[in-house]
Amino acid sequence: MSNVVFITGATSGFGRAAARRFAAAGWSLVLTGRRVERLQALQDELAGRVPVHVAALDVRDGSAVTRVVAELPEGFRRVRTLVNNAGLALAPEPAQTVELSDWLTMIDTNVIGLVSVTHALLPTLIETGEGASIVNLGSIAGQWPYPGSHVYGATKAFVKQFSYNLRCDLLGTGVRVTDLAPGIAETEFTLVRTKGDQAASDRLYRGTTPLSAEDVAEQIYYVATLPAHMNVNRMEVMPVRQAWSPFAIDRDA
């Protein structure tokens, strides 16, 4: 029986790249996401190589999360790795100009969605035991503040602390937990954040070398396949061409 990985947000970016990486290693895949046509395309691409089960899922819908986990077919129920990838950033402008609905969408997806999926799969992961892994996709924004990060950064700080606290509660079960925190990476992230502004996305990545989705997927696979006695608590990964800025200071004219 092959190992099973359960990936949320598998229709693009890190999630889709992770699906391909685990498939290359022979893992069975449970792929979830909101865009059914993309899920089907990914299943068509990978099903000739490994077993693939897809399920349309918006992680903000707690009852849907419970149903998808409960209805996993035979052969996909013994999940060894959960990749909590579904998430988004919105409204990269100052907090005082942001619509409340954008804040709530980020909280519902990045926090409520992540804990709902984790809660639903914890019994399975504990049953799997030694070597089981939860890989939570955080962000450098959960550690390092910057203008326009407001609630997005706060949700990723939650991911970091939730991951640490899970480690405490899961001690003795064999289940590992990692907060994987990427820096700038060229995916659809900025398109979503700017509500489809391709020019803004192009400006962000122009003239530099960001991480790729495949770079991050490789790290997801790495932490999930370490020897069973090892746990990476937090992995922060940035491109060499990204670093920190000095403190901003408001000065009199």
Catalytic residues: 152
* Residue 72 one-letter amino acid: L
What CA–CA distance (Å, rounded) separates 122 from 153?
25
What CA–CA distance (Å, rounded) separates 136 from 167?
12
Radius of gyration of the CA atoms of the chain, in A:
18
Strand, coil or helix: 60? coil
Count of residues for the chain? 253
Q: Where are the alpha helices (DSSP H) in the chain?
A: 13-24, 36-46, 62-70, 100-107, 114-128, 150-169, 189-193, 198-205, 213-224
